[in-house]
Amino acid sequence: MKRLILRLIHCLPYAALVAIAFGAWLAVSLWIGTPSAHALPEYATRTGEPCATCHVNPGGGGPRTLRGLLWSARGRSDQVPTLPGVLIAPGVRDGAELYLIACAACHGTKGEGTFGRELSGTSLREGKIRTTVLNGRARSGMPAFEGQFTPDQLDALVTFVAGLASGEITPPPDSYPLPPAEFKCAPVAGPMKRRGN
């Protein structure tokens, strides 16, 4: 009996090792077992919303928009909550800047059209621009911006886009020319003088 107890004590470190290994295996298998996030374009089918409602990238995936985040936080019902009164660019007054913030991702920085339609040189009228911005075109992926601009912001934005469309406003250039670099190192003759002497 005494020998048996002695042997057991001898084995204790091994038993501890085995216990730790078992614990680690259990943790890893539980971690692998938890369902990970999937690619979920079917959210679009379920909610009847374009990918751009929930994803910053109009093609889906990647970072989520404010509405997408809110929708997730509210338990993912079949209806995506709207964001009444949440301004997209609080404090921004310049139409060109508003365009860059809210529209350029889809319409291109020059209105040349990427995912969204071309806007530059299309002679679209202010009225049409305004209603398209406010109501969107859910089916083709143009979001509705109702309530996301102040009236002044909307005016500035619509004026800017109408200017792009009529060609009165030239879009910002791709690059700005810089003057050639100058190196102004006059050769120093003789030992340097100390100042103030």
Q: Contact residues for ligand HEC (CB under 6 A)?
A: 37, 39-41, 43-44, 47, 49, 51-55, 58, 60-62, 64, 68, 71-72, 80, 102-103, 105-107, 115-117, 122, 124, 129, 132-133, 137, 140-143, 145, 157, 161
Shortest approach of ligand HEC to residue 4 CB, angstroms?
56
Eight-class DSSP state of 184 = -
Give the C-alpha separation, 111 to 123, whole Å: 12
Shortest approach of ligand HEC to residue 109 CB, angstroms?
12
Give the C-alpha separation, 100 to 91, whole Å: 14
Torsion of CA 146, 151, 156, 161, to 10 degrees: 30
Q: Which is nearer to ligand HEC, 23 or 121 (CB)?
A: 121
Shortest approach of ligand HEC to residue 66 CB, angstroms?
12
Q: Which is nearer to ligand HEC, 23 or 41 (CB)?
A: 41
Give the C-alpha separation, 18 to 23, whole Å: 9
SS3 142: strand
> Encoding tokens for residue 76?
């993912």
Shortest approach of ligand HEC to residue 52 CB, angstroms?
4
Query: How many C-beta neighbours within 10 Å does residue 178 have?
Result: 6
Q: Which is nearer to ligand HEC, 51 or 83 (CB)?
A: 51
Q: Which is nearer to ligand HEC, 157 or 169 (CB)?
A: 157
